[in-house]
Amino acid sequence: MERVFSGVQPSGVLHIGNYLGAIKNWLELQNDYQCIFCVVDLHAITVPQEPKELLAKTIEVAKIYLAAGIDPKKSTIFVQSHIKEHAELAWLLNTITRIPELERMTQFKDKIRGQKSEVSMGLFDYPVLMAADILLYKAAKVPVGEDQVQHIELARSLAQRFNGRFSEVFIIPKPMVRKEGARIMGLDDPTKKMAKSANSAYNYIALTDSPDTIREKIKKAMTDSGKEIVSGPDKPALANLLTIHSLLVGQPVVEVEQQYQGKSYAEFKNDLAEVIIGFLEPVQKKYNALDDSEVLKILRAGAKKIQPIATKTMAEVKKVMGIIE
């Protein structure tokens, strides 16, 4: 079975964009691939984190995985820092990474805007650690949202470079990006992606938002000029809302458009809020029923299960690089 690897950072608020762009697709892969889903705490600390919050968020993300339907009997879920080889491989990959390759990363450029003197080396090196995550398990496929594709391209380049320079150790991973939902936009600004770290809570629907909050946020969500409920390049706000609606009900956007022909923005928004609430209700119920210590057990068991893969890859890497084990 081919291997799939993906992860989410335990920082900020997990939102409907994370679900539609990534986690929803993971669910569909569980039967056909050997799936490994990680809570990437070492990535989260590349920007300052409150230690207590990091700890809580790490468990929270794992709970979201489970509540959304990741089945620990089929897929492995674990915490990145529980397997030391991630950091070790990142260091070795650093030695074949070129500085301009990292300087060109869009996400890095976005994140450092206006705060260059405070930027950590970790943030710059973030994509190399991500490459290590993927290559360590020889994952063939990486299901992510569109914003992570450039990072996966780097992982591909590093794998190719390493294999060419030393020996064929790594599998060249491929990003798996869905046409729909790979870039859910901010509710308050449909020209920018929905983001965990957004300044305003009206940017996103958190997976843990209450029904009233969801109603309020959708009511306030930006719309486009005009009256019709249609998607299109000149209707970025509606296109985004229609995409969310379509993915959650499992109907193509054109069908949703037809359903709302002649109806008002208010009617559409009311229904959309209820669709989101209806979808989140069972997820939140499961989430609230999960016990922290049970979740921690699942995470530790997950790390234990995949540790041999990491150990084996590192031994291969060191051998071909001339590092004594």
Residues that bind ligand TYM (CB under 6 A): 5-9, 17-18, 20-22, 40, 43, 130, 133-134, 142, 144-145, 147-148, 182-184, 193-194
DSSP reduced 3-state for 261: coil
Measured from the CB of residue 203, what is the shortest distance to ligand TYM in angstroms?
A: 10
Q: Please report, for the chain, how many H helices and E strands are present, in that order.
A: 14, 5
| Backbone CA torsion sign across 223, 148, 214, 26 | positive
Burial (CB count within 10 angstroms: exposed 0-12, middle 13-18, buried 19+), residue 113: exposed
> Is 192 marked active-site?
no
Q: Which is nearer to ligand TYM, 21 or 72 (CB)?
A: 21
318 part of the active site: no
Q: Which residue is nearest to ligand TYM (CB)?
A: 21
Exactly one of 111, 174, 318, 319 is catalytic; which is it? 111
Closer of 12 and 228 to ligand TYM (Cβ): 12
DSSP symbols for 81-120: GGSTHHHHHHHHHHTT--HHHHHT-HHHHHHHTT-GGG--
Report how far residue 286's alpha carbon sits from residue 275's, in angstroms, rounded to the nearest whole number: 18
Q: Which two tokens stand for residue 66?
A: 């489970």
- Measured from the CB atom, is 130 or 239 closer to ligand TYM? 130
| Catalytic residue list contains 111 | yes
Measured from the CB of residue 73, what is the shortest distance to ligand TYM in angstroms?
22
CB of 174 or CB of 319, closer to ligand TYM: 174
Give me the torsion for CA of 25, 27, 32, 37, rounded to 10°: 90
Q: Please, what is the minimum distance in Å from the beta carbon of residue 262 to ligand TYM? A: 30
Q: How many CA atoms lie within 13 A of 145 on its CB side?
A: 22
Are 19 and 49 in contact by the 8 Å Cβ rule? The answer is no
- Distance of closest approach, residue 227 Cβ to ligand TYM, in angstroms: 27
Q: Crossing angle of helices 85-94/292-321, nearest 10°?
A: 40
Nearer to ligand TYM, 83 or 266 (CB): 83
Catalytic residue among 174, 196, 286, 318: 196
Q: Report in angstroms how near the CB of residue 62 gets to ligand TYM at its nearest.
A: 13
- Determine the Cα–Cα distance for residues 59 and 47; give it in Å rounded to an integer: 19
Distance, CA of 231 to CA of 235 (rounded, Å): 6
CB of 76 to ligand TYM, least distance (A): 14
Residue 262, exposed/middle/buried by CB under 10 A (0-12, 13-18, 19+)?
exposed
Nearer to ligand TYM, 48 or 324 (CB): 48
Out of 57, 138, 141, 193, which one is annotated catalytic?
193
Q: Which residues carry out catalysis?
A: 111, 193, 196
